[in-house]
Amino acid sequence: MPAPPRWLRWLPAMYVAVVLAVEPITPVQWPVSFVLTALPVVAAFAHGPAAVAAVTVFAIVFEGVLAGTPCCAGRPVGYVWDRHYVANYVCTFVVGVLGTILAVHRTRRERTLATVRSVAETAQRVLLRPVPRHLGQVSVETLYLSAAAEARIGGDLYEALPTAHGVRLLIGDVRGKGLVAVETAAAMLGAFREAAPEEPDLAGLARRMERSMGRYARQIAGGEAAERFVTALFAEIPDREPVVRIVTCGHPPPLLISRGRVTELEATDPSPPVNLGGLIGNGYHVDAVPFRPGDQLLLYTDGVTETRDPAGAFYPLVERVRPWAGLPPGELLERLHADLVDYSGGRLEDDLAALAAYRLPGGARS
């Protein structure tokens, strides 16, 4: 369970310090010490029930001390038992009881939240398992950010697998949010991990993914089958050919970073999202683009390009990436992450994922 911020833990002490500073300069008829009644609630924001109970006792005693101190605005010693002060002690006790109950409730909620976040992080690691940094002649790095900060899990997905046909990459974005999107993403990743090593060509892989996701959708009761679609991009980097092959299924175009230039690889004949491929039958078009040693491919979901600044302008990905063209994959994604957070003012409103694939120079293999 994460600890509260330091300033919040010290808030009760600062509250008392302010009362001590103001009390001597207030008139007798305006005793500032009455505000100590709220001290247990202030403590309940950051401390446990035992600490709140102790603060309650302290507040009652301290109110009496202030009331009975002659130096405080000339109040007489007997003022401590004034009926108004006795009523104030009772109010402080009642507020202390409520503050203790609040602290109990808060600590239980924090433990529950910590458990939920732990489960979500475990599910995220199972769903988006770590991608090896080196796959043959290709170096790979990934980035994932969920807009649901407390859950840290969403519907964006990626995968990179070494196969006999080269390194095959997937990036996708499930329609919708929440557990439904996570379930669909898991089905998509499972189908890709099974099919990618077996299908001899990229168009065949896309067709098989369409069939697998279609079967998955038909198993869902109700009218949700047509709602479970995924925008996806499949890429293949052969070991012995300086090219990258791409099949686009309703997904944003990748960026090719080559010799300091950043190019958006628009599909010549894009296909519908996966599970909507029945609209085109078996026709999937494969684009082949030169991909030489030292080149880099950046795949991403629309959470990147649809990030907005405070004025509502979309994130200009190509323009922002251009100065980072010489960076290796890990540093490129780190810079992209920091820039997205800065551009949005720290308010990312959608899940996003990115994958950078770099062909090692000189035919090097790891």
Nearest to 288 by CA among 355, 351, 237: 237
Do residues 212 and 325 both lie within one domain?
Answer: yes
Tens digit of pLDDT for each residue in 143-181? 988 765 544 556 789 999 999 999 999 999 988 766 677
User: Is 340 among the domain residues?
Assistant: yes
- pLDDT, mean over the chain: 83
pTM for the structure as a whole: 0.69
Distance CA 316, CA 302 (A): 12
Question: How far is Cα 149 from Cα 151, in angstroms, rounded to an integer?
Answer: 6
Q: In angstroms, rounded to a whole number, what is the distance separating the alpha carbons of residues 116 and 99?
A: 25
In the chain, the number of structural domains is 2
Residues 93 and 141 in one domain: no
Confidence of residue 110 (pLDDT cuts 50, 70, 90): confident
User: Is the same domain home to 354 and 252?
Assistant: yes
Note whether 172 and 254 are within 8 A (CB).
no
In terms of residue numbers, what domain contains 116? 6-121
On whether residue 126 sits in a domain, the answer given is no
Of 121, 146, 161, the domain-final residue: 121
Phi and psi at 315, nearest 5°, equal -70, 120
Domain boundary among 102, 121, 140: 121
Place of tokens 């078009």: 285
- Of 287, 198, 205, nearest to 245 by C-alpha is 287
How confident is the model at residue 78, as a pLDDT? 46
CA distance 50 to 180: 41
The alpha carbon torsion through 56, 57, 59, 60 (nearest 10 deg) reads: 120
Helix (H, G, I), strand (E, B) or coil at 263: strand
Among 70, 96, 121, the domain boundary falls at: 121
| CATH number of the structural domain spanning residue 346 | 3.60.40.10
Q: Answer left, alpha or beta for residue 346, where phi above 0 means left and psi between -120 and 50 means alpha.
A: left
Q: Are 307 and 315 in contact (CB under 8 A)?
A: yes
Residues 62 and 149 occupy one common structural domain: no
pLDDT tens-digit readout, 209-223: 999 998 888 887 555
